[in-house]
Structure 1
Amino acid sequence: MKKTLLLFPLALALFGCGGVDTLKQGLAQSQAISTDLKKALATDNLVSMNWHNGALSNVTVTFNAIPKEKNLDDIYHRASAVVAAHLSERPQQLVIAFALPPAPGEAKTLVALPKEANADKG
């Protein structure tokens, strides 16, 4: 009961300050940017945004693969144009990343500690 009483004013404050609306708007913008980038570059992606003290600090676009027949400069310019078209505020940084699977035949390896480090634990 006490938790409910404590959380109720917090919920009212969030609704009152527009925090929920900002979150909804950011999610909608993120999805719109992702859809347009997929059309422009024919590659699935994930778009996330970070705010710091009310200012848009960075937008991160993570592609699931490197877009075919596109160089990094072209990817950057297209991503930058799509982000600018959907956001009224320019981010301080645009981060472009690629989530790639391991190369074929490349095995995951564990790093072994040198024998001297293992002897200290003995």
Structure 2
Amino acid sequence: MRKIIAILVLASCLAACGMINTLVDGYKHSQAVASDLEQVTGLKPGVGFNWHNGRLVSVTVTFPKLYDAKPLRELADAVRASVRKQFQQTPEDIELGFSLGATAPDTSAQTERPLRQAALAP
């Protein structure tokens, strides 16, 4: 009975090694993509990824604010090239996003002045 339990534990550990290696390698690849894009843009994006059965399904790149220095198409090309280079395969989908925050960067909350009511004289 102990041999069977030991074999099951060993088998489950070996099966989990592939998942752990994928997770660790994916994290390294995502950090490399973030570093590449930080050098290109000056902004460090968040990079997420989704693997399914050893296949790279999607990569999500989210910048902390809007990037205005280059046209969006050039930024998308830089993201695509970095993802392909660092992950060493082309994902099915690459999602590019920007965090807009609660308010626009150059605006502040403004309150309206209270309306004055005309007083009627008795």
TM-score by length of 2: 0.72
Q: Distance in 2 between matches of 1:106 and 1:76?
A: 33
Change beyond 3 A, Cα 1:85–1:12: closer
Residue aligning to 1:41: 41
State whether residues 42 and 67 of structure 1, in contact with CA within 8 Å, keep that contact through their aligned partners in structure 2: no
Shift of 1:12: 4.2
Bigger Rg, structure 1 or 2:
2
Q: 2:16 aligns with which of 11, 14, 17?
A: 14
C-alpha deviations, 1:29-52, integer Å up to 9, x for none?
A: 000100010001111210111012
Could you say what the CA RMSD is over the residues aligned between the two structures, in angstroms?
A: 2.1
Identity of aligned residues (%): 31
More helix by share: 1
State whether residues 44 and 65 of structure 1, in contact with CA within 8 Å, keep that contact through their aligned partners in structure 2: no
> What residue ranges of structure 2 are gaps of 5+ in the alignment?
111-122
> What residue ranges of structure 1 are gaps of 5+ in the alignment?
108-122
